[in-house]
Amino acid sequence: MYVDLPEPELRSYRSSQLDPADFDEFWSTTLDEARSFDLDVRVEQVDTGLTTIDVFDITFAGYNGEPIKAWLRLPAGASAPLPAVVQFVGYSGGRGRPIDNLLWASAGFAHFQMDSRGQGGGGSVGDTADPHGSGSQTGGFLTRGIESRETYYYRRLFTDAVRAVEAVRTLDAIDPSRVAVLGGSQGGGIALAVAGLVPDLSAVVAYVPFLSDFPRSMVSSSSGPYAELVRYFGIHRERLGLIDTTLPYFDAVNFAKRAVAPAWFSVALMDRVCPPSSVFGAFHAYTGEKDIAIWPFNDHEGGGIDDDARALEALRGAFAVRSLPARRGGRRARRS
């Protein structure tokens, strides 16, 4: 059954989330601090046994200069700098195994899949620590460090994601003028955050994005991670002010207001994890050219492979890809 507003109301819904007056200053300062550390991109080829895709183990410096892991997958033998898809993963998942997720490299793109610090205990494995403590929190990540915007977990994760785009642009296998960001659920929310912080992306793909429209999501989601916030504020009643002093700095709605790259969203009208209205809240706030696929009879899986097929077509257009790169001798993913 439908779990939220009827579709006509979703199309007219607008989020009540406000952006703080110092939102831009906060993020500018945060990223400047991260950029005071060298990116320190390290590349090591992985022997996977694959013959059509080369895989590289990447390490780069994220928030506070801390090491973040990623996989880089390239079409084997690609000879020219490639457009890159930077992918962020869903809640509790990590970057997975080297031979996971071969679609984007198989399509002729460079595929850079960032690990999520401290995650990787559910769905797919992770290899990146989050060496920061936290005060009182519920299980999961939505309340980790929520006591202030400076200590909140997603300050670190969003900074890592911006640095991932910067890291991929240093690699000589990559055309730095053709970089897109992509993700589903938490990964979609991260992609929207990056879109609001990096102005020169080629495209943004956000499947059923999480971390969108906190005021609506906390009272409309019937399952999934938003319940962590509900439990937290049900216990810490004296901290309800954090809903206004911490969360707005990390809401995809406020990043969407600053994003200009072409964007492809998707929403599932039976999604109990990310309420459809919260997705429309971010979609309507998005200032760049945008499109949304509506899946009437799907839950949080969204359009599944059909979302991927739509994204593949969109990315080929955004990158103006007309043919796969010619194959010659093997190519390493050296830094430029």
Instruction: List 292's β-bridge partners, or say none.
Output: 265
Displacement of CA 189 from its chain's centroid (Å): 5
Cα 110 to Cα 87, 160, 172, 256, 265: the distances in Å are: 11, 19, 11, 25, 21
Catalytic residues: 185, 271, 300
Under 8 Å between Cβ of 71 and 78? no
- DSSP element (H, E) containing 207: strand 203-207
Instruction: With beta carbons less than 8 A apart as the criterion, state whether 191 and 279 touch.
Output: no
Residues 6+ apart with CB under 8 A from 322: none
Per-residue pLDDT of the chain (336 residues; tens, 9 = 90+): 788 999 999 999 999 999 999 999 999 999 999 999 999 999 999 999 999 999 999 999 999 999 999 999 999 988 889 999 999 999 999 999 999 999 999 999 999 999 999 999 888 999 999 999 888 788 799 999 999 999 999 999 999 999 999 999 999 999 999 999 999 999 999 999 999 999 999 999 999 999 999 999 999 998 899 999 999 999 999 999 999 999 999 999 999 999 999 999 999 999 999 999 999 999 999 999 999 999 999 999 999 999 999 999 999 999 985 443 333 333 345 553
pLDDT on residue 20: 97
Question: Mind listing the pLDDT tens digit for each residue in 55-87?
Answer: 999 999 999 999 999 999 999 988 889 999 999
User: Do the beta carbons of residue 268 and residue 299 sit within 8 Å?
Assistant: yes
Phi first, then psi, for residue 68 (nearest 5°) are: -120, 135
Task: Give percent above pLDDT 70 in the chain.
Answer: 95
The pLDDT score that the predictor gives to residue 334 is 52
In sequence order, which residues have a C-beta less than 8 Å from that of residue 230 and are 6 or more positions away?
218
* CATH node for 7-135+155-222+253-317: 3.40.50.1820
Residue ranges per structural domain of the chain: 7-135+155-222+253-317
Per-residue model confidence (pLDDT) at position 28: 98
